[in-house]
Amino acid sequence: MMIDARNIMYRAVHASRADHERSQLNGVRKPMKHPFVIMLRLIGGWVRDHRPGTVQIFWDAPRATVWRHELIEGYKKRDDDHHCNEGTVNDLALTEAAAADIFRYLNVRQFKKDRMEADDLIYAACRVQCTREIIVCSSDKDLLQLLYAVPKAKILNPDNGNFITETEHHPVWYKALVGDTSDKIPGYDGIGPARAAKILGDPSKFVTLLEERGKETMVRNLRLIDLGMSPYVLQNQLYVGRALAAKVQYDKRKLAEMCAKHKINYHGVAELLLPFRSLT
């Protein structure tokens, strides 16, 4: 089981804040639940349901350092205040710090590499471990391309707990045509979902598009989107291979110390930690 850590962490932080706001509206005064506890409950539930042999956690490098900025100015450049307030930004930082510390002693492997996004590393990990059954937990649509590149990979949608087994169109080619406003990747002018579907359904229309509009946009977008075209894919696979050789540990004493460090009630989460004891 491979976890897109920040993708799941966002859910946990927003769920924690929403629960706290609801309790205040109902006149109940209680401290906000630590987002890591919610994150742990989510992942632990998947571990219990699907009983994976291993759990692997993947982190993004800081957004401003990601290598894709070399290909396109403003890649994923977002105003944090537009997406989340200062309190939420702080909660994300605190949750990531707690998760990184606690996962270190929870029998899981963590992966983080300079300039790489989690999906870069997840793709590399899937390629290295392609003979095994793999469950990837993320709502990141870029990871849907794994369904085409890694036959034994399945995508678990954290929104509903269901597996995504197919897509209407190949996610790489579709996104290369229409672009992605959230990632600040421009597509071809005038090509939206309906027209993209027609182009992808008729190879002659695709050839005509490239002849009339040029290949530059397509080539750039494929380099940005197709995880198999990353110039760092081999380096990432080597990094993953080395990381997989490291031993993991479940250390009850250290877990209690890390919970205390991050002001999490260890006894309150002890049951949530149990599914991780049998991992390898």
Nearest of 204, 66, 82, 83 to residue 142 by alpha carbon:
66
Considering the domain architecture, whether residues 215 and 91 belong to the same structural domain is answered as no
Rounded to 5°, angle at Cα 71 from 67 and 74: 85
Considering the domain architecture, whether residues 7 and 114 belong to the same structural domain is answered as yes
**For the packed helices 171-178 and 193-200, what is the interaxial angle rounded to 10 degrees?**
130
Considering the domain architecture, whether residues 75 and 191 belong to the same structural domain is answered as no
- Give the span between the Cα atoms of 143 and 54, in whole angstroms: 20
Considering the domain architecture, whether residues 178 and 262 belong to the same structural domain is answered as no
Contacts of 109 (CB under 8 A, 6+ apart): 54, 55, 56, 57, 243, 244, 246, 248
Residue-range definition of the domain harbouring residue 187 = 171-224
Backbone angles phi, psi at 73, to 5 degrees: -70, 135
Q: Which of 224, 241, 256 is the last residue of a domain?
A: 224
Asked if 157 and 137 touch (Cβ cutoff 8 Å), the reply is no
Dihedral class, residue 184 (left if φ above 0, else alpha if ψ from -120 to 50, else beta)? left
Considering the domain architecture, whether residues 84 and 187 belong to the same structural domain is answered as no
Question: For residue 113, is it within any domain?
Answer: yes
Mean pLDDT in each 10-residue stretch from start to end of the chain (280 residues)? 96 86 71 89 96 97 94 76 67 95 97 98 97 96 96 94 92 96 93 95 94 95 96 97 94 97 95 92
Rounded to two decimals, the pTM is: 0.93
Considering the domain architecture, whether residues 131 and 241 belong to the same structural domain is answered as yes
**E strand or H helix that includes residue 45:** helix 35-50
- Dihedral angle over CA of 99, 92, 3, 265, nearest 10: 40
3-class DSSP assignment, residue 133: coil
The whole-number pLDDT of residue 208 equals: 95
Question: For residue 56, is it within any domain?
Answer: yes
CATH at residue 237:
3.40.50.1010
Considering the domain architecture, whether residues 55 and 184 belong to the same structural domain is answered as no
Considering the domain architecture, whether residues 146 and 22 belong to the same structural domain is answered as yes
- Give the span between the Cα atoms of 105 and 269, in whole angstroms: 14
Please identify which residue in the block is written with the tokens 């696979």: 237
Question: For residue 153, is it within any domain?
Answer: yes
Considering the domain architecture, whether residues 49 and 119 belong to the same structural domain is answered as yes
Considering the domain architecture, whether residues 100 and 195 belong to the same structural domain is answered as no
Please identify which residue in the block is written with the tokens 């290949």: 215
Question: For residue 243, is it within any domain?
Answer: yes
Question: For residue 189, is it within any domain?
Answer: yes
What is the number of domains present in the chain? 2
Contacts of 14 (CB under 8 A, 6+ apart): 88
* Residue 150, CA atoms < 13 Å, CB-side half-sphere: 25
The whole-number pLDDT of residue 73 equals: 86
Considering the domain architecture, whether residues 15 and 132 belong to the same structural domain is answered as yes
The whole-number pLDDT of residue 23 equals: 73
Question: For residue 245, is it within any domain?
Answer: yes
Considering the domain architecture, whether residues 242 and 126 belong to the same structural domain is answered as yes
- Give the span between the Cα atoms of 155 and 267, in whole angstroms: 32
Backbone angles phi, psi at 203, to 5 degrees: -55, -30
- Dihedral angle over CA of 202, 205, 209, 215, nearest 10: 40
- Give the span between the Cα atoms of 84 and 103, in whole angstroms: 25
Q: Please tell me the chain's helix, strand, coil percentages from 3-state DSSP, rounded to the nearest 5.
A: 55, 10, 35
Nearest of 13, 206, 162 to residue 92 by alpha carbon:
13
Question: For residue 279, is it within any domain?
Answer: no
Question: For residue 90, is it within any domain?
Answer: yes
